[in-house]
Amino acid sequence: MKSKRVGLAAVGVLLLILVGCLQFDEQTIYLEYDKVADRLLMVINYQGLFAERGLPPFGQRAEGEATFQDVADSEDQLAKAIESKRVAFGGNWPFGFSLVEGRQNLAKPDQTMSDQVRKDLLSFFEHVRVENGGFYEDAAGRCCGAQVLVVDRASEVLAVLNRAINEAMLSDTTEPETADPVERALKPLWLEAAGAGHTWIEIQGNSLVATIPFPEALFQEQREEFAKQSFGAEAGDLQRQVRGLRAVIGNPVWLWHENGMLKVRCGLVTKPSVVVARPRQGDYTPNLAEHIRVRYGLHLDENLARYLLHLDATAETEAETAARTMARRLTQVERIRVLLYQLKTKPSVEFWDKLWEEKRPAPGAGEPVELTNEGLLEYWENWLLKRTKDATGSDGSGNREPAKQG
């Protein structure tokens, strides 16, 4: 709806639609805030990079197999994304920002925003950096990539962003009145909040919290409509609904209404957390995998393995710097994947010792308590594959398991 675009005008240069068909099947975001250093850090994994057929209408998925041109376009988009330090949030690259392009666009006057807003946003980019970590293959065989996003002086950056949003709202007087009742209800509330210097986004502990003026009755109405569309009889197959519900419940994301405000919290307050930004929908097909292997290589796990042993080892390249940051924050699933990769390619006593240090779940029925090195390797391979299939519902080939009947 149009009124929603009022607040986004200030950050429009940050939210760029990536026209084309480069996609990812799933995304995980590690979120951490260091209060002492005032540093916000995200580790972003794009799991299952692939080329999709054409560009479907917004909110819909493309049908059919990607053509040769679709794949070529996606390869070009990937190269530009790496070069321009583009970060994507949400499902399948609908929105994101490019560090390089953002700075370039804001360096010159823009008639769509005030000079003060432009300068404020330009100062935002001075404290943001993106490190491309490279590519790897996950346990399901999907070709994946990872980035590290760091926001230094994060509290100051968010203050700048909030001020820019408020200034943009108050300066945007070009939109005509609308007949949509939701838009009519929200616009005056948002303008009033902007005039009072409202804080739209803030850090609480290790979480990000958005606070948006929103009438309670309208909030309840919209929540019921969302539930109906997402989980109602007309929402699609049961498996898709269940996956969506698991993602909502399993993610450290909360939405509630308080004192006339819609609040959304992303991440845990007391400790860092991982958010699944887009649960797997089973669209992956390995049509970019060979190109990525040949042009860029799958080196991330090799770099991660090095820093698993020596966290303070030197980092000469951007990819190594990103890997060193990531190695300190790997989940057990990620550590096991890296250790298995290393033991299959360049096994050593040090990595065997690391694998033995990993705490195993209690043995199941018929499972031996005592294991050899080879038995331990097989145990973790099976464990990792099961964890991946439980999370994705697929073996990574793009073929989903058939729905269970009854």
Burial of 305 (0-12, 13-18, 19+ CB in 10 A): buried
Integer Cα distance of 339 and 355 in angstroms: 7
Say if residue 55 is in the same domain as residue 154: yes
With respect to residue 167, please indicate whether it lies within any of the assigned structural domains.
yes
Integer Cα distance of 76 and 71 in angstroms: 9
Integer Cα distance of 273 and 266 in angstroms: 9
Q: How many domains does the chain have?
A: 2
pLDDT in 10s for each residue of the chain, 406 residues: 333 343 333 334 333 333 448 889 889 999 999 999 999 999 999 999 999 877 555 455 566 788 888 899 999 999 999 999 999 987 666 567 899 998 998 888 877 778 888 888 888 899 999 999 999 999 889 999 999 999 999 999 999 999 999 988 888 666 666 667 888 889 999 999 999 999 999 999 999 999 999 999 999 998 888 877 777 666 566 766 676 677 678 889 999 999 999 999 999 999 999 998 765 567 889 999 999 999 999 999 999 999 999 999 999 999 999 999 999 999 999 999 999 999 999 999 999 999 999 998 876 655 666 789 999 999 999 999 988 877 665 554 444 343 333 2
* Domain closes at, from 273, 298, 323: 298
Q: Which domain holds residue 151?
A: 4-298
* Tokens linked to 273: 């957390």
With respect to residue 317, please indicate whether it lies within any of the assigned structural domains.
no
Say if residue 201 is in the same domain as residue 345: no
Say if residue 229 is in the same domain as residue 360: no
Say if residue 223 is in the same domain as residue 163: yes
Say if residue 81 is in the same domain as residue 154: yes
Say if residue 346 is in the same domain as residue 269: no
With respect to residue 41, please indicate whether it lies within any of the assigned structural domains.
yes
Say if residue 216 is in the same domain as residue 89: yes
With respect to residue 134, please indicate whether it lies within any of the assigned structural domains.
yes
With respect to residue 112, please indicate whether it lies within any of the assigned structural domains.
yes
Say if residue 68 is in the same domain as residue 208: yes
With respect to residue 312, please indicate whether it lies within any of the assigned structural domains.
no
- Going along 22-159, which residue ranges are E strands? 22-34, 39-51, 86-89, 95-98, 128-137, 143-152
* Residue 291 per-residue DSSP state: H
| CA distance to 69, 80, 181, per residue, from 174 (Å) | 40, 34, 19
* Domain closes at, from 248, 283, 298: 298
Identify whether the C-beta of residue 170 lies closer than 8 Å to the C-beta of residue 195.
yes
Residues 6+ apart with CB under 8 A from 390: none
Tally of residues, the chain: 406
Integer Cα distance of 45 and 30 in angstroms: 9
Q: What are all long-range contacts of 187-194, with beta carbons under 8 Å and residues at least 24 apart?
A: 187/3, 187/6, 189/213, 189/214, 189/215, 190/3, 190/6, 190/7, 191/6, 193/166, 194/7, 194/165, 194/166, 194/167, 194/169, 194/170
With respect to residue 320, please indicate whether it lies within any of the assigned structural domains.
no
> How many of the other CB atoms lie within 10 Å of CB of 235?
14
Strands ordered across the beta sheet of 201-204: 201-204, 207-213, 261-266, 253-258
Dmax (CA) of the chain: 73
Amino acid at 293: R
With respect to residue 325, please indicate whether it lies within any of the assigned structural domains.
no
Closest by CA to 20, choosing from 76, 64, 60, 63, is 76
Say if residue 159 is in the same domain as residue 118: yes
**Whose structure tokens read 């210097």?**
197
